[in-house]
Amino acid sequence: MNTQTIALSGEPVRFNDPGATARLGLIALATDMTSERDLYRQLPQDGVAIHVARVAYENPTTPENLRKMTPRLTEAAALLAPLRPLRAVCYSCTAASVVIGDAEVAAAIRAAVGNVPVVTPAGAARMALSALGVRRISVLTPYTVATSQPMADYFTRHGLEICRFECLGLEDDREMARVSDQSIIDAALAVDRPEAQALFLSCTGLPAINVIAEIEQRIGKPVVSSNQASAWAMARLAGFDNHKPAHYGRLFDCALPEAAFGAAT
């Protein structure tokens, strides 16, 4: 029996090149209501597919609860493995990538998907600030002080000077996803300092991309957010070097540093 697949036209079924679509993996928290939507809004509309897996997570957002995701990352990444080749995989939690560690996150994900570039929002933010030529920053997080402190330590450990660091004191990432545009703008303007070269808005749950352009216009300097930096890194790793979506900040004018996130050189 001839097992060749035949179309109704009588011709063999033909398939598109598997590399024609840039496939990107996203590992989102079970409670995440923001990062998936934000990636779709910022990435190219054609030639890109975002494949999402969820990882179990329980509030409140504390360093202890964030660390509990560590052994779950490989299992979540394994759900993306059948979709290879993947251009990159993003673990969409800024605070967890800080307390677990960028390298540890990457190793856990690569254990399931192979040698794929792994983006963390914290690592993407560092790359973004470097690409913008920034060393002095102000930082706003939606977390509590206890959850925010490792973030401050992370940036200073990587050579950045923090001019001011403030947090909103929220414990539930579902509430972080509901912070209004005006509240984000007001807090951003309050945390900015003249000596800071840029402002970083932390948390993939915070809907900050809505107001990046307005904040940049009002403070006269670059604004980097977790989801913006992740989308920028993912776009560049997927080969969209000239992708510059409107309204999402100066960062998209920048190139990704070579070999970032384990990308092939």
In the chain, how many domains are there? 2
Q: Are residues 233 and 116 in the same domain?
A: yes
265 — pLDDT class (breaks 50, 70, 90): very low
Q: Which residue has the higher pLDDT, 1 or 73?
A: 73
Q: What is the pLDDT of residues 143-190, one digit of tens each?
A: 999 999 999 999 999 999 999 999 999 999 999 999 999 999 999 999
73-85 pLDDT tens trace = 999 999 999 998 9
If asked whether residues 128 and 182 sit together in one domain, one would say yes
- Confidence label for 40 from pLDDT (cuts 50, 70 and 90): very high
Q: Are residues 132 and 113 in the same domain?
A: no
* Residue 259 domain flag: no
- Domain span including residue 158: 123-226
Q: What is the pTM of this model?
A: 0.93
Neighbours of 218 (CB within 10 A): 14
254 is a domain residue: no
Rounded to whole angstroms, how far apart are CA atoms 227 and 90?
10
CA distance 84 to 41: 23
Domain CATH number, residue 98: 3.40.50.12500
Q: Are 216 and 241 in contact (CB under 8 A)?
A: no
Q: Which residue has the higher pLDDT, 4 or 223?
A: 223
Beta carbons of 249 and 217 less than 8 angstroms apart: no
